[in-house]
Amino acid sequence: MAIPFRSLTRKLEHRKRKSTRPFHPVKINTQHIRSLKGKQPVTALAVYDATSAALASEAGVDLLLVGDSMGNVILGFPNTLPVTLDMILHHTAAVARAKPASLVVSDIPFTEAHRDADILLAAAARCLQEAGAEAVKIEGGVTMADKIRRLTAAGVPVLAHIGLLPQQIYQMGGYRRFGKTPEERESLLADARAVTAAGAFAVVAEMVDHETAGVIARDIPVPLIGIGSGPHCDGQILVGQDVLGLTPGKTPAFVKAYARLGEEVKTAFSNYVREVRERKFPT
Ligand code: KIV
Protein backbone atom coordinates (compact mmCIF):
# COMPACT_ATOMS: atom_id res chain seq x y z
CA MET A 1 0.00 0.00 0.00
CA ALA A 2 1.34 3.45 -0.89
CA ILE A 3 2.00 5.75 2.08
CA PRO A 4 0.55 9.24 1.59
CA PHE A 5 3.32 11.80 1.05
CA ARG A 6 2.21 14.04 3.99
CA SER A 7 2.36 11.17 6.46
CA LEU A 8 5.75 10.07 5.09
CA THR A 9 7.29 13.52 5.56
CA ARG A 10 5.76 13.76 9.05
CA LYS A 11 7.31 10.38 9.89
CA LEU A 12 10.70 11.53 8.59
CA GLU A 13 10.51 14.78 10.57
CA HIS A 14 9.64 12.80 13.69
CA ARG A 15 12.56 10.42 13.12
CA LYS A 16 14.91 13.38 12.55
CA ARG A 17 13.80 14.97 15.86
CA LYS A 18 14.14 11.68 17.74
CA SER A 19 17.52 10.82 16.22
CA THR A 20 20.58 11.49 18.37
CA ARG A 21 22.60 11.97 15.15
CA PRO A 22 23.54 15.59 14.50
CA PHE A 23 21.58 16.81 11.49
CA HIS A 24 23.31 19.13 9.01
CA PRO A 25 20.62 21.18 7.31
CA VAL A 26 23.05 23.22 5.21
CA LYS A 27 26.33 22.85 3.36
CA ILE A 28 29.24 23.26 5.74
CA ASN A 29 31.83 25.87 4.82
CA THR A 30 35.15 26.94 6.32
CA GLN A 31 33.48 29.76 8.27
CA HIS A 32 31.28 27.19 9.99
CA ILE A 33 34.33 25.07 10.88
CA ARG A 34 36.04 28.15 12.37
CA SER A 35 32.91 29.09 14.28
CA LEU A 36 32.91 25.73 16.09
CA LYS A 37 36.01 26.79 18.06
CA GLY A 38 35.12 26.90 21.75
CA LYS A 39 31.58 25.65 21.07
CA GLN A 40 31.65 22.11 19.74
CA PRO A 41 34.44 19.72 18.69
CA VAL A 42 35.02 19.52 14.93
CA THR A 43 34.47 16.01 13.55
CA ALA A 44 36.53 14.97 10.54
CA LEU A 45 37.31 11.80 8.59
CA ALA A 46 39.66 10.94 5.75
CA VAL A 47 37.57 9.30 3.00
CA TYR A 48 38.30 8.61 -0.65
CA ASP A 49 35.06 7.54 -2.38
CA ALA A 50 31.47 8.65 -3.00
CA THR A 51 29.79 5.96 -0.89
CA SER A 52 31.84 6.70 2.22
CA ALA A 53 31.39 10.44 1.67
CA ALA A 54 27.60 10.11 1.51
CA LEU A 55 27.47 7.95 4.65
CA ALA A 56 29.85 10.20 6.59
CA SER A 57 27.86 13.26 5.60
CA GLU A 58 24.60 11.64 6.71
CA ALA A 59 26.27 10.73 10.00
CA GLY A 60 27.01 14.40 10.63
CA VAL A 61 30.77 14.53 9.97
CA ASP A 62 31.79 18.18 9.58
CA LEU A 63 34.83 17.80 7.33
CA LEU A 64 35.87 15.15 4.80
CA LEU A 65 39.55 15.06 3.92
CA VAL A 66 40.56 13.34 0.71
CA GLY A 67 43.90 12.60 2.30
CA ASP A 68 47.09 11.37 0.72
CA SER A 69 46.74 8.60 3.31
CA MET A 70 44.92 6.99 0.35
CA GLY A 71 48.45 5.88 -0.59
CA ASN A 72 48.70 3.45 2.33
CA VAL A 73 44.99 2.89 2.96
CA ILE A 74 43.51 2.05 -0.45
CA LEU A 75 46.26 2.17 -3.08
CA GLY A 76 48.70 -0.31 -1.57
CA PHE A 77 51.74 2.01 -1.34
CA PRO A 78 54.05 1.80 1.70
CA ASN A 79 53.53 5.52 2.52
CA THR A 80 51.99 8.74 1.16
CA LEU A 81 54.91 9.78 -1.04
CA PRO A 82 53.86 8.06 -4.30
CA VAL A 83 50.46 9.82 -4.25
CA THR A 84 50.15 12.24 -7.18
CA LEU A 85 47.93 15.23 -7.82
CA ASP A 86 46.01 13.19 -10.40
CA MET A 87 45.17 10.57 -7.75
CA ILE A 88 43.99 13.29 -5.35
CA LEU A 89 41.84 14.86 -8.10
CA HIS A 90 40.33 11.50 -9.08
CA HIS A 91 39.28 10.67 -5.50
CA THR A 92 38.24 14.21 -4.58
CA ALA A 93 35.91 14.25 -7.57
CA ALA A 94 34.35 10.97 -6.36
CA VAL A 95 33.82 12.40 -2.86
CA ALA A 96 32.41 15.67 -4.22
CA ARG A 97 29.98 13.80 -6.51
CA ALA A 98 28.25 12.49 -3.38
CA LYS A 99 27.32 16.15 -2.67
CA PRO A 100 28.09 15.81 1.04
CA ALA A 101 26.94 18.48 3.47
CA SER A 102 30.42 18.12 4.98
CA LEU A 103 33.26 20.40 3.84
CA VAL A 104 35.39 18.63 1.19
CA VAL A 105 39.15 19.15 1.53
CA SER A 106 41.83 17.87 -0.89
CA ASP A 107 45.30 17.00 0.37
CA ILE A 108 48.12 18.60 -1.61
CA PRO A 109 50.76 15.96 -2.45
CA PHE A 110 54.32 16.79 -1.47
CA THR A 111 55.54 17.19 -5.05
CA GLU A 112 53.19 20.15 -5.62
CA ALA A 113 53.56 21.57 -2.10
CA HIS A 114 57.30 21.96 -2.37
CA ARG A 115 57.65 23.40 -5.85
CA ASP A 116 57.19 27.13 -6.34
CA ALA A 117 54.13 29.04 -5.19
CA ASP A 118 52.65 29.32 -8.70
CA ILE A 119 52.71 25.55 -9.15
CA LEU A 120 51.12 25.10 -5.73
CA LEU A 121 48.40 27.63 -6.58
CA ALA A 122 47.76 25.88 -9.89
CA ALA A 123 47.45 22.51 -8.08
CA ALA A 124 45.05 23.95 -5.52
CA ALA A 125 43.03 25.58 -8.28
CA ARG A 126 42.66 22.18 -10.01
CA CYS A 127 41.39 20.68 -6.74
CA LEU A 128 38.73 23.38 -6.49
CA GLN A 129 37.86 23.82 -10.19
CA GLU A 130 38.13 20.30 -11.59
CA ALA A 131 37.51 18.05 -8.60
CA GLY A 132 35.03 20.05 -6.51
CA ALA A 133 37.09 20.51 -3.34
CA GLU A 134 36.21 23.47 -1.12
CA ALA A 135 39.62 23.75 0.56
CA VAL A 136 43.08 22.18 0.47
CA LYS A 137 45.32 20.77 3.19
CA ILE A 138 49.04 21.41 3.24
CA GLU A 139 51.63 19.83 5.52
CA GLY A 140 54.13 22.15 7.19
CA GLY A 141 54.35 25.05 9.63
CA VAL A 142 56.61 28.12 9.59
CA THR A 143 58.32 27.02 6.36
CA MET A 144 54.99 26.83 4.49
CA ALA A 145 53.44 30.00 5.91
CA ASP A 146 54.31 32.23 2.92
CA LYS A 147 52.76 29.73 0.51
CA ILE A 148 49.64 29.43 2.68
CA ARG A 149 49.37 33.23 2.69
CA ARG A 150 49.58 33.25 -1.11
CA LEU A 151 46.79 30.66 -1.39
CA THR A 152 44.45 32.28 1.11
CA ALA A 153 45.03 35.68 -0.55
CA ALA A 154 43.90 34.06 -3.81
CA GLY A 155 40.74 32.75 -2.12
CA VAL A 156 41.82 29.16 -1.55
CA PRO A 157 40.90 28.07 2.00
CA VAL A 158 43.75 26.17 3.67
CA LEU A 159 43.72 23.52 6.37
CA ALA A 160 47.26 23.48 7.79
CA HIS A 161 48.98 20.37 9.19
CA ILE A 162 51.71 20.36 11.86
CA GLY A 163 53.44 17.79 14.10
CA LEU A 164 54.15 14.50 12.37
CA LEU A 165 54.28 15.20 8.65
CA PRO A 166 54.00 11.89 6.78
CA GLN A 167 55.29 13.51 3.57
CA GLN A 168 58.58 14.21 5.43
CA ILE A 169 58.87 10.70 6.81
CA TYR A 170 62.39 10.06 5.45
CA GLN A 171 63.59 13.40 6.81
CA MET A 172 61.85 12.92 10.19
CA GLY A 173 63.30 9.43 10.54
CA GLY A 174 60.10 7.52 11.37
CA TYR A 175 56.71 7.87 12.98
CA ARG A 176 56.94 9.32 16.51
CA ARG A 177 55.25 11.80 18.84
CA PHE A 178 56.23 15.48 18.57
CA GLY A 179 56.27 18.32 21.11
CA LYS A 180 57.48 16.44 24.18
CA THR A 181 60.52 18.65 24.83
CA PRO A 182 60.26 22.41 25.59
CA GLU A 183 62.14 23.12 22.33
CA GLU A 184 59.72 21.06 20.24
CA ARG A 185 56.75 22.59 22.07
CA GLU A 186 57.99 26.09 21.21
CA SER A 187 58.66 25.11 17.63
CA LEU A 188 55.16 23.61 17.19
CA LEU A 189 53.59 26.68 18.76
CA ALA A 190 55.53 28.84 16.29
CA ASP A 191 54.29 26.61 13.44
CA ALA A 192 50.66 26.89 14.57
CA ARG A 193 50.92 30.67 14.98
CA ALA A 194 52.58 31.10 11.57
CA VAL A 195 49.99 29.10 9.61
CA THR A 196 47.15 30.76 11.48
CA ALA A 197 48.57 34.22 10.78
CA ALA A 198 48.85 33.17 7.11
CA GLY A 199 45.09 32.58 7.04
CA ALA A 200 44.58 28.82 7.68
CA PHE A 201 40.96 28.21 8.75
CA ALA A 202 41.98 25.25 10.96
CA VAL A 203 45.10 23.26 11.79
CA VAL A 204 45.57 19.48 11.91
CA ALA A 205 47.96 18.36 14.67
CA GLU A 206 49.29 14.85 14.05
CA MET A 207 50.92 12.85 16.84
CA VAL A 208 51.52 15.88 19.06
CA ASP A 209 52.13 15.47 22.77
CA HIS A 210 48.73 15.86 24.46
CA GLU A 211 49.73 18.69 26.79
CA THR A 212 51.44 20.55 23.96
CA ALA A 213 48.33 20.13 21.79
CA GLY A 214 46.29 21.69 24.62
CA VAL A 215 48.70 24.65 24.83
CA ILE A 216 48.44 25.19 21.06
CA ALA A 217 44.64 24.81 21.00
CA ARG A 218 44.31 27.46 23.70
CA ASP A 219 46.70 29.76 21.86
CA ILE A 220 45.35 29.85 18.30
CA PRO A 221 42.05 31.41 17.19
CA VAL A 222 41.07 28.55 14.84
CA PRO A 223 40.25 24.90 15.60
CA LEU A 224 43.15 22.54 16.24
CA ILE A 225 42.01 19.18 14.85
CA GLY A 226 43.99 16.34 16.38
CA ILE A 227 44.96 12.91 15.19
CA GLY A 228 46.76 10.97 17.89
CA SER A 229 47.15 14.28 19.76
CA GLY A 230 44.80 13.67 22.68
CA PRO A 231 41.63 15.15 24.10
CA HIS A 232 42.60 18.82 24.46
CA CYS A 233 42.27 19.57 20.73
CA ASP A 234 39.24 21.40 19.27
CA GLY A 235 38.27 18.40 17.17
CA GLN A 236 39.41 15.03 15.91
CA ILE A 237 40.21 13.46 12.55
CA LEU A 238 40.68 9.75 11.83
CA VAL A 239 40.99 7.66 8.69
CA GLY A 240 37.52 6.33 7.78
CA GLN A 241 38.82 2.80 7.13
CA ASP A 242 40.35 2.70 10.64
CA VAL A 243 37.07 3.81 12.24
CA LEU A 244 35.24 1.04 10.39
CA GLY A 245 37.75 -1.65 11.38
CA LEU A 246 38.62 -2.25 7.72
CA THR A 247 42.36 -1.72 8.05
CA PRO A 248 44.28 -5.00 7.85
CA GLY A 249 47.08 -5.57 10.37
CA LYS A 250 48.07 -3.25 13.19
CA THR A 251 46.66 0.25 13.46
CA PRO A 252 48.27 3.05 15.52
CA ALA A 253 47.44 2.91 19.26
CA PHE A 254 45.38 6.14 19.11
CA VAL A 255 42.91 4.66 16.58
CA LYS A 256 39.49 3.59 17.81
CA ALA A 257 37.57 1.17 15.58
CA TYR A 258 33.81 1.75 15.97
CA ALA A 259 32.97 -1.35 13.92
CA ARG A 260 34.63 -4.59 12.79
CA LEU A 261 33.71 -4.42 9.11
CA GLY A 262 36.87 -6.24 8.02
CA GLU A 263 35.63 -9.42 9.72
CA GLU A 264 32.11 -8.95 8.34
CA VAL A 265 33.37 -8.42 4.81
CA LYS A 266 35.54 -11.54 5.01
CA THR A 267 32.58 -13.59 6.26
CA ALA A 268 30.31 -12.26 3.48
CA PHE A 269 32.91 -12.99 0.78
CA SER A 270 33.51 -16.52 2.14
CA ASN A 271 29.76 -17.22 2.22
CA TYR A 272 29.49 -16.05 -1.40
CA VAL A 273 32.41 -18.28 -2.46
CA ARG A 274 30.90 -21.29 -0.65
CA GLU A 275 27.40 -20.77 -2.07
CA VAL A 276 28.67 -20.37 -5.64
CA ARG A 277 30.80 -23.52 -5.32
CA GLU A 278 27.91 -25.47 -3.80
CA ARG A 279 25.58 -24.12 -6.51
CA LYS A 280 23.35 -22.56 -3.86
CA PHE A 281 23.69 -19.15 -5.51
CA PRO A 282 22.00 -18.17 -7.74
CA THR A 283 18.90 -20.05 -6.76
O1 KIV B 1 46.29 12.06 4.63
C2 KIV B 1 45.54 12.05 5.61
O3 KIV B 1 44.54 11.33 5.67
C4 KIV B 1 45.86 12.93 6.73
C5 KIV B 1 45.03 12.86 7.97
C6 KIV B 1 44.97 11.54 8.57
C7 KIV B 1 45.28 13.96 8.90
O8 KIV B 1 46.75 13.70 6.63
CATH code for position 126: 3.20.20.60
Q: How far is the CA of 249 from the centre of ligand 1 (A)?
A: 19
In this prediction, residues 242-271 reach a mean pLDDT of: 95
Torsion-angle region of residue 207: left (phi > 0), alpha (psi -120 to 50) or beta? left
In this prediction, residues 182-190 reach a mean pLDDT of: 98
| pLDDT at 145 (0 to 100) | 98
User: Going by CA atoms, what residue is nearest to atom 4 of ligand 1?
Assistant: 67
What residue type is 59 in one-letter code?
A: A
Q: How far is the CA of 39 from the centre of ligand 1 (A)?
A: 24
In this prediction, residues 114-119 reach a mean pLDDT of: 94
User: Going by CA atoms, what residue is nearest to atom 8 of ligand 1?
Assistant: 67
Residue range 59-84, pLDDT digits in tens: 999 999 999 999 999 999 999 999 99
Whole domain around residue 114: which residue ranges?
A: 21-244
Active-site positions? 206
Nearest to 41 by CA among 240, 257, 236: 236
Whether 267 maps to a domain, the answer reads no
Spatial neighbors of 220 by CB under 8 A, at least 6 apart, are 192, 193, 196, 203
Compute CA 202 distance to the chain's CA centroid, rounded to the nearest angstrom.
Answer: 12
Q: How far is the CA of 69 from the centre of ligand 1 (A)?
A: 5
Nearest to 105 by CA among 167, 52, 160: 160
Q: Count up the domains in the chain and report the number.
A: 1
Mutate which of 227, 229, 238, 255 for ligand 1 pocket (most atoms within 8 A of beta carbon): 227
| pLDDT at 16 (0 to 100) | 47
Whether 94 maps to a domain, the answer reads yes
Whether 235 maps to a domain, the answer reads yes
| pLDDT at 36 (0 to 100) | 97
Whether 185 maps to a domain, the answer reads yes
Q: Which residues line ligand 1 (CB under 6 A)?
A: 46, 65, 67-69, 107, 204, 206, 227, 237, 239
Whether 10 maps to a domain, the answer reads no
What residue type is 199 in one-letter code?
A: G
- For residue 8, name the pLDDT band (cuts at 50, 70, 90): very low
Counting from 1 in the atom list of ligand 1, the atom nearest the Cα of 80 is 1
Mutate which of 74, 104, 204 for ligand 1 pocket (most atoms within 8 A of beta carbon): 204
| pLDDT at 25 (0 to 100) | 52
Whether 191 maps to a domain, the answer reads yes
- How many residues does this entry show for the chain? 283
Q: How far is the CA of 277 from the centre of ligand 1 (A)?
A: 41
Q: How far is the CA of 159 from the centre of ligand 1 (A)?
A: 11
Question: Above 80 in pLDDT, residue 283?
Answer: yes
Whether 4 maps to a domain, the answer reads no
Question: Above 50 in pLDDT, residue 11?
Answer: no
Mean pLDDT of the residues in the chain: 92
In this prediction, residues 159-170 reach a mean pLDDT of: 96
What percent of the chain is modeled with pLDDT above 70? 91
